[in-house]
Amino acid sequence: MGERFPGWHGTTIIGVRKGGRVVVAGDGQVSLGQTVIKGTARKVRRLEPGGRPVLCGFAGSTADAFTLLERLEKKLEAAPGQLQRAAVELAKDWRTDKYLRNLEAMLIVSDGRDLLVITGAGDVLEPEHDVAAIGSGGNYALAAARALMDQDLDAEAIARKSLAIAAEICVYTNGNVTVESLDAA
């Protein structure tokens, strides 16, 4: 990820919105240099602040991502049902807070209505074409998903096929997939 942790490599997380569903899916590999440390990590979560589900997938440092997910959950509790507002507030804190700005992770989040990528550079991005992907295999998964969007496949099938393609190309991505989904709002 960054200069402080040059041996750590990420993962692949994808978000797909199609046919009334939103899916966030990710692989399970954690690598240190050329060594696979764990193959069954769970990098996609469902948060339910105030009983409203939000899907979250993360790439980067796990401890950093959990810190960010906790912050996002607090922002969502303060602004129920307003994912975009909570994401912008998190991104502002992440960029300006002395502690948070050193965190190395990226997030894909969705409440069924919004599908967003949140970065430590202060970005809250709504992807085009209803597909977002992050992590070391993110570009491979993104390209595959974009090519599959006009096929007769649902959001989950597109996410799974895209992750399988990324796993065949990116050595830091495996085929152990976690999928969470919501109805699109």
Residue with tokens 């069924």: 112
| Residue 39 predicted with pLDDT over 60 | yes
| Residue 126 predicted with pLDDT over 90 | yes
Across residues 3-31, what is the average pLDDT? 82
Burial of 139 (0-12, 13-18, 19+ CB in 10 A): middle
Q: How far apart are CA 166 and CA 42, in angstroms?
A: 17
Query: What's the chain's average pLDDT?
Result: 90
Tokens of residue 160, six digits: 């799974």
* DSSP code for 61: -
| Residue 43 predicted with pLDDT over 60 | yes
Known catalytic residue: 173? Answer: no
Residue with tokens 């830091």: 172
* DSSP code for 50: G
The catalytically annotated residue of 11, 12, 173, 178 is: 11
Q: How far apart are CA 72 and CA 56, in angstroms?
A: 10
* Angle 153-159-165 from CA coordinates, rounded to 5°: 105
3-state SS string for 135-147: ECCHHHHHHHHHH
Residue-level pLDDT at 9: 54
Across residues 9-26, what is the average pLDDT? 93
